Each structure stands twice: as structure tokens, then as C-alpha cells.
């Protein structure tokens, strides 16, 4: 039974913070930020907006595009690094606001690789018979976790959400493979404390109480795992790099993306890049990039895609998939089958 994405929606907050705005906050410049990251602006949540709000708005966009998409959803999986609370889960908060109260709901925490991880979890839940139709959400308000005096991190991140419905799709479409991994030895390179005031490798009292990052180490790690995990995903699917119509990477840094493209042999012209306008939206970055490429017509029905992401953990995730362009038609096909059966 092939499984894939049948509906997709996204949301970013209205408030925009540009590089020129940051120039007034500390010593930096638009040229310095763009040359090192590729980012020109990012969207930030209002003080009373949280990850669940990002997720709800993304689901509302999904429903606007595919009005019957939530019918039959029996599980909600939310990937987030900035949950509203330890509990209830952000997934449950989203479910309750979009008419899915009573569905199973769980949060998943693998930082920026979380959306691809969550797609894999959704596939497993369906294949295992626990769920028939899963709503996957990536939602973040990382702006609330940043030290706004630390220019090495606060220039990078933005807020937003993405939502996808995962269910069975026609033969020849959907997910072909997943590759997931993590190595906690790299944890000190990218972390955010919670209850504990330290993690292994970060001496007590020496870490940033907000979000800590070693950019140089993360860069080396990211380029390596994007290529390695992506190639493994293609090999598992029996797909060649030359067959990939579009690579959709996590939007963290233009230098990381360009280095990965060069090593992978997939030209930048076949890579979806939009971090210039959104920055790093963590678990929301892959669905936002995917939705944008669908809206402007780059991604078409049947296109071979490669999703690749990395994040704190340090974690990584990749998926090869054939895009199903018949989103919104699945319910109609099932109704037709029911009539003839």
C-alpha cells in the first residue's frame, strides 16, 4: 500500500524582521548576514502567538486548499522544538482547535529534521494499522527561545508552520524510502536546555541558557549528513541522483545548501531554496519550501523528490518520494470505489 502526502498547507506570521532591523539592534550589517547565511528577512510570531497557533493556521491553509482533507484523520503528529508546554502536547492543542479532538496526538522532538521524521512516523502508523490517516504538523516559534543579544543565532531563525495529510495514495506515488539518524555526541554543537541545566559535553554553567550553537561544527556536520543520508535514501529507493526533479532541503544556511548540492551532484537549479525570505523555521522549513514550489508550478505530479534535513540532536532525516499531484482526489476515489464494490 503506497503512502504519501495528499494535502499541504503552511503559515508564517505577518511580522517581518529584516537584516536592516537587526542593524539597529547590534553590530551587524545586511551584507554580513547575507554573505554568511543567505537570509535577508524572517517572520516572527507576536508575543501572544505560539507553536500551536502556527500549526493551527497551517492546518487552516491546508483545509482552504483541500476542504475535505481532514475527514477521517485519526492521528496528529506535531514536530516542534518550541512546544507551547511540556503537556498537553502541541499536537493535542492543534487537534482540539481544528476539529480533531479525540484523535490520537503526539509531539516529536528531533529539532529541524522533525518534519521528515514525522512523515516517517505517520507512514509507520498507517502501515502498522494504528492509524488510517495522519495529520503531520511542523510548527515553531523559535524566536521565543533566542538570546537577542547573540548575533550568531538570532539572525538565523524565523517562525512558521506547515501541515500535511498523510494517507494511502495510488500506485507509483508516495514515499519510497526514509533514512533517519541521530548522534548525541554532537549535542553540544546545537542545543536548548529544558529541565536539566546541562547536557553531556556542556559543563554545568558554561552553556547558553537560551539556544546554544557552534556554527562551524554544525556546518561540517550538516553538509556531510545531508549528502550521506540523501544518497542512502536514493539507494534504498533504487533512484539515481539524475532522476531527482527537485531536492527540498532544510532551509538553514545557503552555504550548507550549496555545498550539499555540489557534493551531491544535484544542481542548485533543481533545489528549492527560500530561506532568503524566511530564515531557518526549523520543522516548518521543509513544508514551507515544498508548498512554495507547488504554488509556483515547479513541482508537478509524478516528480521525483528528495527531502533532506538536519537538526539538533544532532539528527538527520531524508526521504525519497514521488509527488502525488492529485491532492484532494483521494476521498473522491474512495467514494467511487465504495459505490462500485
Residues that are catalytic: 112, 250, 280
Question: What average pLDDT score do residues 241-270 get?
Answer: 92
**Is 310 in contact with 182 (CB distance < 8 Å)?**
no
Q: Where exactly does CATH 3.40.47.10 map onto the chain?
A: 3-173, 175-322
User: What is the pLDDT averaged over residues 5-19?
Assistant: 98
Of the listed ranges 28-32, 108-112, 194-198, the one predicted with least confidence: 194-198
Please indicate whether residue 331 or residue 97 has the higher confidence score (pLDDT): 97
Q: Give the pLDDT of residue 336.
A: 42
Q: Across-strand partners of 179?
A: 318
Q: What pLDDT is stored for residue 57 in this prediction? A: 98
**pLDDT band with cut points at 50, 70 and 90 for residue 218:** low
Computed from CA positions of residues 80, 81, 82, 83, in that sequence, does the dihedral angle turn out positive or negative? positive
Tens-place pLDDT, residues 68-112: 999 999 999 999 999 999 889 999 999 999 999 999 999 999 989
Chain segment 229-248, per-residue pLDDT in tens:
999 999 999 999 999 999 99
pLDDT, mean of residues 288-299: 97
pLDDT digits (tens, 9 = 90+) for 295-310: 999 999 999 999 999 8
Q: What angle do CA 121, 122, 125 make, to 5 degrees?
A: 85
| 201 band by pLDDT with thresholds 50, 70 and 90 | low
d(C-alpha 202, C-alpha 280), whole Å? 24
What distance in Å separates the CA atoms of residue 10 and residue 59, rounded to the nearest whole number?
Answer: 7
What's the pLDDT band for 324 if we cut at 50, 70, 90? very high
CATH topology of domain 175-322: Peroxisomal Thiolase; Chain A, domain 1 (3.40.47)
3-173 to CATH, choices 3.40.47.10, 3.40.30.10, 2.60.40.10, 3.90.380.10: 3.40.47.10
- DSSP letter for each residue of 156-218: TB--EEEEEEEEE--TT-EEEEEEEEE-GGGGGGEEE-SSSS--TTS-TTTS-SSEEE-HHHH
Q: Are 52 and 11 in contact (CB under 8 A)?
A: no
Average pLDDT for the chain: 88
107-135 pLDDT per residue, tens:
999 989 999 999 999 999 999 999 999 99
pLDDT tier at 312, thresholds 50, 70, 90: confident
Q: Model's pTM, two decimal places?
A: 0.90
139-187 residue pLDDT tens: 999 999 888 888 888 899 999 999 999 999 999 999 999 999 987 655 5
Amino acid at each position: 500500500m503506497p503512502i504519501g502526502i495528499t494535502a499541504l498547507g503552511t503559515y508564517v506570521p505577518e511580522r517581518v524582521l529584516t537584516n536592516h532591523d537587526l542593524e539597529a539592534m547590534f553590530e551587524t550589517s545586511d551584507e554580513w548576514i547575507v554573505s554568511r547565511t543567505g537570509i535577508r528577512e524572517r517572520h516572527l510570531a507576536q508575543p501572544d502567538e505560539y507553536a500551536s497557533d502556527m500549526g493551527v493556521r497551517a492546518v487552516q491553509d491546508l483545509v482552504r486548499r483541500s476542504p475535505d482533507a481532514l475527514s477521517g484523520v485519526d492521528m496528529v503528529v506535531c514536530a516542534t522544538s518550541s512546544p507551547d508546554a511540556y503537556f498537553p502536547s502541541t499536537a493535542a492543542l492543534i487537534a482540539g482547535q481544528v476539529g480533531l479532538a479525540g484523535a490520537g496526538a503526539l509531539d516529536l522532538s528531533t529539532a529541524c529534521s522533525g518534519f521528515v521524521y514525522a512523515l516517517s512516523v505517520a507512514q509507520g502508523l498507517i502501515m502498522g494499522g494504528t492509524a488510517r490517516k495522519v495529520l503531520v504538523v511542523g510548527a515553531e516559534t523559535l524566536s521565543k527561545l533566542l538570546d537577542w543579544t547573540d548575533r550568531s543565532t538570532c539572525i538565523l531563525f524565523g517562525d512558521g508552520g506547515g501541515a500535511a495529510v498523510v494517507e494511502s495514495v495510488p500506485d507509483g506515488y508516495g514515499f519510497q524510502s526514509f533514512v533517519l539518524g541521530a548522534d548525541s555526541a554532537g549535542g553540544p554543537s546545537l542545543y536548548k536546555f529544558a529541565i536539566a541545566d546541562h547536557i553531556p559535553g556542556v559543563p554545568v554553567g558554561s552553556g547558553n541558557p537560551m539556544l546554544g550553537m557552534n556554527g562551524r561544527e554544525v556546518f561540517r556536520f550538516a553538509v556531510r549528513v545531508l549528502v550521506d543520508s540523501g544518497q542512502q535514501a536514493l539507494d534504498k529507493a533504487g533512484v539515481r541522483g539524475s532522476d531527482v526533479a527537485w531536492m527540498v532541503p532544510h532551509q538553514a544556511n545557503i552555504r550548507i545548501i550549496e555545498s550539499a548540492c555540489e557534493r551531491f551532484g544535484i544542481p542548485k537549479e533543481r533545489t528549492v531554496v527560500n530561506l532568503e525570505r524566511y530564515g531557518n523555521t526549523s520543522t516548518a522549513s521543509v513544508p514551507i519550501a515544498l508548498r512554495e514550489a507547488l504554488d509556483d508550478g515547479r513541482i508537478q505530479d509524478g516528480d521525483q523528490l528528495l527531502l533532506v534535513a538536519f537538526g539538533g540532536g544532532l539528527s538527520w532525516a531524508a526521504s525519497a518520494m514521488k509527488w502525488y499531484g492529485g491532492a484532494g482526489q483521494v476521498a473522491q476515489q474512495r467514494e467511487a470505489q465504495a459505490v462500485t464494490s
